[in-house]
Amino acid sequence: MVNEERLRVRQEDVDTEDLAIDLYEQTIARGASAAEAIAMTLRAFPDHAALIADYAFTQEAANTRQTAADAAADARIMARADALIASRLSASKAPSVPLTGLIDRARAHGLDLVKLSASLGLARSVLVKLDRRLIDAATVPAPAIQRIAVAIGCAADDLRAYLSGPPTLAAGASYRSKTAPDLADSDGAIRREPFARALGTAVASREMQQAQVDEWLDE
């Protein structure tokens, strides 16, 4: 029994390590610098700081050697990596700021709703529903949670905890359609929408393409 438990815990560690590397590579693929990718990945996976730093250094060193394969270039890469690691590890240990709103946190991170939507490839209507906790948090895939958390600069666990809180409706809210969505059950309780359904609605209203939806659901 003890050995089985150790194997299970180890498998969970391996899974999260793979997720951390995947997130770093995806961030680089979207055009981020190594520094930005390290910062974003550390926010989502602070427990894997050493792994992220080693992987980032290896990748950057390999890329630099393609154009300047000499000892001086390697030394500059090492110094830069050490500085990045030190600064990001320090930031990751700083006290976290309580998450009181997805969109408010994005604004504090330098992204308004339009920019956040564009950077994520996620419809504004879906982001608003997430912000108001009108989407069932249990239906949002873990990689999707991590992707959004990185974009707004918070921990994935903090974001999921926020999304699991009580739903809210903004006074005077506006919608793309001519009528407000029917969110209440017969007893007046607010009904949460599955994440996949919210994405489907965004496709129907031409806010998203089906390929974008598939990417969010396949993660």
pLDDT tens by residue, 59-76:
766 665 545 445 555 555
Q: Is the predicted pLDDT of residue 50 greater than 80, yes or no? A: no
Q: What is the mean pLDDT of residues 1-15?
A: 46
Q: How would you class 129 by CB atoms within 10 Å of its CB: exposed for 0-12, middle for 13-18, buried for 19 or more?
A: buried
Q: Which residue bears the tokens 């830069």?
A: 80
Quick one: DSSP state of residue 134? -
Q: Tell me the pLDDT of the chain averaged across its residues.
A: 75
In the prediction, which pLDDT does 29 show? Answer: 83
Which tokens belong to 57? 């250094």
* Contact between residue 42 and residue 49 where contact means Cβ atoms under 8 Å apart: yes
Q: Is the predicted pLDDT of residue 151 greater than 80, yes or no? A: yes
Q: Which amino acid is it at 111?
A: L
Within the chain, where are the H helices? 2-29, 34-44, 49-65, 71-92, 102-108, 113-120, 124-131, 142-152, 156-163, 195-204, 210-218
Confidence tier at 53 by pLDDT (50, 70, 90): confident
Higher pLDDT, 56 or 96: 56
Q: Is the predicted pLDDT of residue 216 greater than 90, yes or no? A: yes
d(CA 129, CA 191): 12
Q: Could you give the 3-state DSSP secondary structure of residue 190?
A: strand
* Contact between residue 135 and residue 129 where contact means Cβ atoms under 8 Å apart: yes
